[in-house]
């Protein structure tokens, strides 16, 4: 890896030459996918501070090396993230000079020094007050304004990455844009038809890809060295539900760059090795893991990470890397990542192939296939469709655990399943990538092991102290489970999960007047505080993804909503009409949409230094591998100052994992409809007609009794899906039939 930005030599390095300001043009050429992607660590250097208006992209722990650590050790702030978000009143170099001089005085007070030189950013949610007669829908609508942030004005020396368009933050301590949170928040914006705001959030995500080469965990400098589960392609799906196919062609360059980031190094990783996010198994299969380019304590949890590493008995840098990779999963933290299942210091995230990541990558490939097909690039469309099919087959073979009858994370170092059952088992159903037999098995496993009185628990594990374990339930898991089971015909189970979750969330709102980040779904009694919480920080109020998905479920299940609201009259309000059907590939762009994308303003962005990929050797800390000579580039000054220690290559497992389930074909779920004919998607026309829906898009279902029984046997096999699972919510009983990813989608041109 490149030199650690925390070294003294690096901090004093002379910045390389400047670059012109970046200008984002949406019609620019897409990446070929063959260019090496600079490690995110390359962004975290003095090279970012090139001019007065250029932002210093170093995290506070590096820019304020020594002072930041002292603030953490002294626990100046109750929440360690506050120190990372606090804004210095002068340039880091000047402030450090003052600090080093002041601390020599016998009467020096660190608390007073910090109070004098740092300003805390405003958090709008603390001022929100529920009105006496406010119901839950009013609350959600009101919170969009509270949680929205206007386009950012860059603040000198702040860790916040400025965004050019309006966006919605999760709430509480999370006062910036977060990657995977935003997708589930956007569902609520779609429900409320706040399309302009939803579109702006997609543009903000694209702007970060354009500037930094990827979407960081959140819009802070200290998140730049990692990303989060790649939901950007699903965001484009959701936007296409309103804007039509122009959304795919507009954001094709960013979709390609997102893919290049996650697959960097894939052509040069040796069997049994890993490089950044890519793992090549002993049999040559390419999969993905979570990874962070830095191996130091996280800025937002600095003292906690130091304590965790000290308790581990392992190399500290290894622990820091795994903690950071755990944060990239979005499940920070869970027993899924812990070697012993309960002790945080045993975290080994980088050794795991996770279910959601390895099914989201083929969805991104499917989206690229569709976008390239729209652009008329049939060769690339076919290539990505084939890659998606290969990856789905690999994920089915490696991540399906026949013993648990569920999708389970895979330890690539040991060559075996972790056996930890979690709510992630529903993700392949959500993305329409499970076989009918697997969907049936997952439905039974979830009903038996994960479904509780208030919804689905995150994992079976209890008393771990981690917030992504039992007894907690989380909005994204409920949403993906409901949608996934709907798509495979398990409507009664989907309805049951939705009813239990709505009962828990709305019941808590009745007592507290707020929506929360997570909920205890095991306790039969509803706490106004949501439950014990667990994790690194207190329960947070807001809350973006809870607001968005609750609104989606209330709209999808008006009868269940009616029952819940009757029990909680203060949260009552009549339900709206059902929403349109789900077929993002079949929505055509009207003249207004085309005009909006054609004439959107050009955004001038601050310059981003691009450090080339270092030369060999370049080895990950878990599994040795290095880019081939074909992808080598000359080292940057920063990258040559220190060489990270390389671990020995991982010992390949004795044998490749057996295929416990042959990837089968997705079946068309039983079709049901309660939607007026006017809301149904158009029947596909003959091939070649410009108004026809794409061949690979979900087909419109035929009317059927709205009270059809729960599916108990898988329907007849159909080709595996190519069309993505757009989350614009549809009527409760309307299903979509997946189609094959092997054939490039053929939607009509916008």
Q: In three state form, how does the secondary structure of 638-702 look?
A: CCCCCCCCCCCCCCCCCCCCCCCCCCCCCECCCCECCCCHHHCCCCCCCCCCCCCCCCCCCEECC
What six digits make up the tokens of 64? 């304020």
Beta-bridged to residue 411, according to DSSP, are 352, 416
Alpha-carbon distances, residue 490 vs 362, 425, 428, 497, 720 (angstroms): 24, 15, 15, 11, 18
User: What is the full DSSP assignment across 214-233?
Assistant: S--SBSBGGGTT---S--HH
d(CA 162, CA 185): 20
Q: Which of 260, 284, 264, 263 is nearest to 273 (CA)?
A: 284
Q: Which of 353, 351, 334, 457 is nearest to 400 (CA)?
A: 353
Provide the pLDDT for residue 657.
38
Give the pTM: 0.74
Name 241's Cβ contacts closer than 8 Å, sequence gap at least 6.
190, 580, 582, 584, 587, 726, 728
Alpha-carbon distances, residue 548 vs 184, 376, 727 (angstroms): 6, 35, 11
Pairing mode, if any, of strands 519-520 and 472-473?
A: antiparallel
Evaluate whether 247 touches 346 at the Cβ level (below 8 Å): no
d(CA 378, CA 744): 8
d(CA 496, CA 491): 8
In 91-130, alpha helices (H): 92-102, 110-117
d(CA 643, CA 259): 27
Does a cis peptide bond (omega within 30 degrees of 0) precede residue 552? Answer: no
**Other beta carbons within 10 Å of 726:** 26
d(CA 507, CA 282): 50
Q: For residue 379, give the 3-state DSSP assignment.
A: helix
**Other beta carbons within 10 Å of 172:** 20
Q: Which helix (H) or strand (E) holds 442?
A: helix 436-449
Distance of CA 217 to the CA centre of its chain: 8
What six digits make up the tokens of 564? 């819940």
d(CA 725, CA 720): 13
What backbone phi and psi angles, to 5 degrees, belong to 430? -55, -40
Provide the pLDDT for residue 174.
80
What six digits make up the tokens of 18? 């400047």
* Residue in the structure block whose two tokens are 């990470």: 305
d(CA 536, CA 158): 23
Provide the pLDDT for residue 636.
39
Evaluate whether 369 touches 385 at the Cβ level (below 8 Å): yes
d(CA 6, CA 339): 28
DSSP designation for 314: S
Q: Which of 149, 91, 95 is nearest to 122 (CA)?
A: 149
Where on the phi/psi map is residue 405: left (φ > 0), alpha (ψ -120 to 50), or beta?
left
Pairing mode, if any, of strands 148-149 and 118-119?
A: unpaired
Evaluate whether 148 touches 168 at the Cβ level (below 8 Å): yes
- 435-450 in b/e burial notation, b at 16+ Cβ within 10 A? bbbbbbbbbebbeebb
What backbone phi and psi angles, to 5 degrees, belong to 607? -65, 145
Q: Per-10-residue mean pLDDT for the chain, 750 residues long?
A: 33 30 33 44 41 76 96 93 95 96 96 96 65 84 92 93 95 89 96 96 98 97 98 97 96 98 96 98 98 97 96 96 98 96 96 98 98 98 98 98 97 96 98 97 98 97 91 96 96 96 94 92 92 72 90 88 76 49 78 82 52 38 36 38 39 38 36 37 36 37 38 40 40 38 39
Provide the pLDDT for residue 125.
56
List, by residue number, the catalytic residues. Answer: 332, 517
Helices 355-374, 232-243: inter-axial angle, 10-degree rounding: 40
Evaluate whether 658 touches 30 at the Cβ level (below 8 Å): no
Q: Which helix (H) or strand (E) holds 167?
A: strand 167-168
């Amino acid at each position: 890896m490149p030199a650690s930005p925390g070294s003294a030599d690096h901090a004093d390095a002379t910045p390389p030459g400047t670059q012109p300001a970046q200008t984002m043009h949406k019609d620019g050429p897409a990446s070929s996918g063959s260019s090496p992607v600079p490690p995110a660590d390359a962004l975290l250097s003095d090279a970012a501070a090139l001019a007065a208006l250029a932002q210093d992209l170093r995290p506070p722990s590096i820019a304020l090396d020594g002072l930041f650590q002292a603030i953490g050790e002294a626990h100046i702030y109750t929440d360690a993230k506050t120190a990372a978000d606090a804004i210095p009143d002068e340039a880091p170099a000047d402030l450090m000079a003052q600090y080093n001089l002041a601390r020599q005085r016998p009467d020096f007070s660190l608390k007073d020094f910090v109070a004098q030189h740092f300003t805390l950013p405003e958090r709008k949610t603390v001022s929100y007050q529920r009105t006496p007669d406010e119901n839950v829908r009013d609350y959600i609508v009101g919170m969009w304004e509270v949680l929205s942030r206007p386009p950012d004005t860059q603040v000198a020396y702040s860790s916040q990455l400025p965004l050019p368009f309006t966006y919605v933050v999760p709430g509480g301590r999370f006062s910036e844009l977060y990657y995977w949170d935003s997708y589930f928040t956007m569902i609520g914006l779609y429900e409320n038809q706040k399309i302009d705001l939803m579109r702006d959030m997609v543009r903000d995500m694209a702007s970060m890809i354009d500037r930094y080469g990827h979407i960081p965990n959140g819009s802070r400098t200290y998140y730049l060295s990692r990303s989060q589960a790649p939901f950007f392609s699903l965001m484009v799906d959701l936007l296409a539900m309103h804007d039509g196919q122009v959304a795919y062609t507009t954001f094709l360059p960013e979709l390609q760059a997102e893919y290049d980031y996650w697959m960097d190094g894939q052509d040069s990783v040796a069997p049994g090795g890993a490089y950044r996010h890519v793992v090549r198994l002993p049999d040559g299969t390419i999969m993905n893991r979570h990874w962070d380019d830095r191996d130091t304590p996280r800025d937002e949890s600095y003292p906690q990470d130091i304590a965790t590493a000290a308790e581990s008995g392992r190399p500290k840098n290894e622990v820091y890397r795994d903690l950071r990779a755990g944060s990239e999963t979005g499940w920070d933290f869970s027993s899924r990542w812990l070697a012993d299942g309960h002790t945080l210091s045993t975290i080994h995230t980088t050794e795991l192939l996770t279910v959601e990541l390895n099914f989201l990558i083929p969805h991104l490939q499917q989206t690229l296939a569709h976008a390239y097909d729209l652009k008329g690039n049939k060769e690339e469309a076919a290539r990505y469709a084939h890659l998606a099919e290969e990856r789905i087959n690999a994920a089915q073979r490696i991540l399906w655990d026949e013993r648990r009858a569920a999708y389970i994370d895979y330890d690539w170092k040991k060559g075996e399943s972790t056996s930890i059952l979690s709510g992630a088992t529903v993700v392949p159903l959500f993305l329409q990538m499970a076989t009918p037999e697997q969907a049936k098995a997952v439905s039974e496993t979830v009903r038996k092991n994960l479904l509780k009185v208030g919804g689905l628990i995150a994992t079976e594990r209890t008393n771990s102290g981690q917030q992504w374990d039992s007894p907690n339930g989380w909005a994204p898991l409920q949403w993906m489970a409901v949608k996934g089971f709907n798509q495979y015909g398990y409507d009664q189970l989907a309805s049951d999960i939705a009813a239990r979750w709505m009962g828990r969330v709305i019941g808590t709102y009745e007592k507290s007047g707020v929506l929360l980040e997570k909920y205890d779904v095991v306790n039969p009694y509803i706490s106004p505080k949501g439950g014990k919480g667990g994790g690194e920080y207190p329960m947070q109020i807001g809350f973006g993804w809870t607001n968005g998905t609750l609104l989606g479920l209330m709209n999808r299940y008006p009868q269940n909503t009616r029952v819940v609201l009757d029990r909680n009259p203060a949260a009552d309000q009549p339900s709206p009409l059902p929403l349109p059907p789900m077929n993002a590939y079949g929505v055509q762009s009207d003249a207004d949409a085309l005009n909006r994308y054609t004439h959107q303003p050009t955004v001038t962005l601050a310059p981003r230094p691009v450090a080339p990929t270092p030369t060999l050797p370049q080895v990950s800390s878990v599994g040795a591998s290095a880019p081939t000579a074909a992808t080598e580039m000359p080292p940057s000054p920063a990258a040559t100052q220190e060489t990270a220690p390389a671990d020995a290559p991982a010992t390949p497992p004795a044998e490749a994992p057996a295929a416990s389930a042959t990837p089968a074909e997705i079946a068309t779920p039983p079709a049901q409809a309660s939607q007026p004919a006017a809301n149904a998607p158009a029947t596909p026309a003959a091939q070649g007609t410009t108004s026809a829906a794409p061949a690979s898009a979900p087909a419109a279902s035929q009317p059927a009794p709205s009270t059809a029984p729960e599916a108990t046997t898988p329907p007849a096999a159909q080709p595996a899906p190519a069309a993505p699972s757009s989350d614009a919510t549809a009527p409760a009983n309307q299903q979509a039939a997946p189609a094959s990813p092997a054939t490039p989608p053929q939607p009509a041109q916008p």
